[in-house]
């Protein structure tokens, strides 16, 4: 009988490419780049994972001294507080983002993701176990349907889990719904921009936001594709949301520089100078708040993509 490790290894051998190697670097402790986009201030807003609320909700909270230690442990393992490196939620989003293409041909791999989720919450309170069980069940059932899988069902399950973890996890609280402006931890903002897959966004893929942004405004100077304006506008809305939310002036200033080519494109100037320098500035600002964005690794990955493999 194949082991879980055997199944994961076999799956990885079938999914090469620079984009997937970029995501696998989490296992080696090197961070990915990015997150997805959507939502504007005048419509129901969306957190990085897609949870919505008609208005901005109360600020995200940190663990109370009286919080159940088992809940804190499980939620921290899944959502990644406080450093947001290699959280299980990121793997869940990544694998969900590839399920439409690979789920039907490799259902065992996705079922193992369900096992990972169950294991993370095995010692948690019953209510959290139930919410996590719904996430796990999606990977054992819907993922195997491939393109016919109900991704909205996973979004709903993850939102319920995020709501349950919100009292002890800033990441969960912001996934569930945006908090008050100026209160989002800068490290979480950096993780959402550089490392979270775009599964529940306008892009609908497992690539991180920066990879998707490069397709629109380039790493180096390029002309913004006119047929990508819906994605440009959605990215601009997301960047505006992050700029307003973050609690650090340096990260806010750097995000404003990243925003510029998207704003210019919406206003009609399609000549983008590229994002290399703005993202280097943002990487430095994230480093100053303790988050290693791995910008150099991202640039090499993008060069690999341009050399022939393309984004996964």
Question: Does the pLDDT at position 165 exceed 80?
Answer: yes
Question: Does the pLDDT at position 54 exceed 90?
Answer: no
Q: Compute the distance between CA of residue 18 and CA of residue 302 in angstroms, rounded to an integer.
A: 8
CB 181 within 8 A of CB 240: no
pLDDT confidence of residue 55: 39
Q: How many CB atoms lie within 10 A of CB 233?
A: 16
Q: Is the peptide bond before 77 cis (omega within 30 degrees of 0)?
A: no
Question: Does the pLDDT at position 98 exceed 70?
Answer: yes
Q: Compute the distance between CA of residue 174 and CA of residue 183 in angstroms, rounded to an integer.
A: 10
pLDDT confidence of residue 302: 47
pLDDT confidence of residue 301: 53
pLDDT confidence of residue 151: 97
pTM above 0.85, yes or no: no
**Lowest-confidence range among 4-8, 156-160, 192-196, 244-248?**
4-8
Q: Compute the distance between CA of residue 167 and CA of residue 75 in angstroms, rounded to an integer.
A: 10
- Per the model's pLDDT, the better-predicted residue between 63 and 69 turns out to be 69
Rounded to a whole number, what is the distance in angstroms from the first to the last CA of the chain? 30
For 191-226, what is each residue's pLDDT tens digit?
Answer: 999 999 999 999 999 999 999 999 999 999 999 999
Q: How many CB atoms lie within 10 A of CB 225?
A: 14
Mean pLDDT of 94-99: 97
Binned at pLDDT 50, 70 and 90, residue 295 comes out as: confident
Question: Does the pLDDT at position 14 exceed 50?
Answer: no
Return mean pLDDT, the chain.
81
- Per the model's pLDDT, the better-predicted residue between 237 and 15 turns out to be 237
For 17-29, what is each residue's pLDDT tens digit?
Answer: 333 333 333 333 3
Question: Does the pLDDT at position 66 exceed 80?
Answer: no
Mean pLDDT of 270-283: 97
């Amino acid at each position: 009988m194949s082991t879980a490790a055997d199944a994961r290894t076999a799956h990885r051998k079938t999914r090469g490419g620079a984009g997937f190697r970029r995501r696998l670097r989490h296992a080696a402790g090197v961070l990915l780049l990015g997150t997805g986009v959507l939502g504007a201030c005048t419509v129901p807003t969306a957190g990085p994972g897609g949870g919505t609320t008609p208005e901005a909700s109360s600020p995200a909270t940190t663990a109370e001294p009286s919080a159940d230690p088992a809940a804190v442990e499980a939620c921290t393992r899944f959502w990644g507080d406080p450093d947001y490196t290699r959280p299980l939620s990121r793997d869940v989003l990544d694998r969900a983002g590839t399920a439409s293409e690979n789920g039907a041909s490799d259902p065992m791999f996705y079922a193992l993701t369900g096992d990972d989720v169950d294991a993370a919450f095995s010692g948690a309170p019953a209510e959290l176990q139930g919410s996590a069980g719904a996430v796990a069940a999606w990977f054992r059932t819907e993922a195997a349907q491939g393109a016919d899988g109900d991704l909205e069902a996973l979004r709903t399950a993850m939102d319920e889990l995020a709501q349950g973890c919100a009292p002890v996890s800033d990441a969960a609280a912001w996934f569930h719904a945006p908090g008050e402006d100026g209160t989002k931890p800068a490290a979480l903002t950096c993780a959402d921009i550089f490392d979270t897959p775009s599964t529940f966004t306008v892009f609908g893929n497992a690539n991180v936001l920066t990879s998707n942004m490069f397709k629109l405004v380039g790493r180096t100077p390029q002309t913004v594709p006119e047929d990508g304006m819906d994605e440009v506008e959605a990215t601009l809305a997301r960047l505006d949301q992050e700029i307003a939310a973050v609690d650090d002036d340096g990260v806010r200033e750097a995000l404003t520089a990243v925003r510029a080519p998207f704003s210019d494109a919406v206003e009609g100037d399609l000549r983008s100078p590229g994002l290399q320098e703005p993202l280097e500035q943002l990487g430095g600002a994230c480093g100053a708040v303790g988050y290693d964005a791995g910008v150099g690794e991202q640039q090499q990955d993008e060069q690999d993509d341009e050399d022939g493999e393309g984004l996964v």
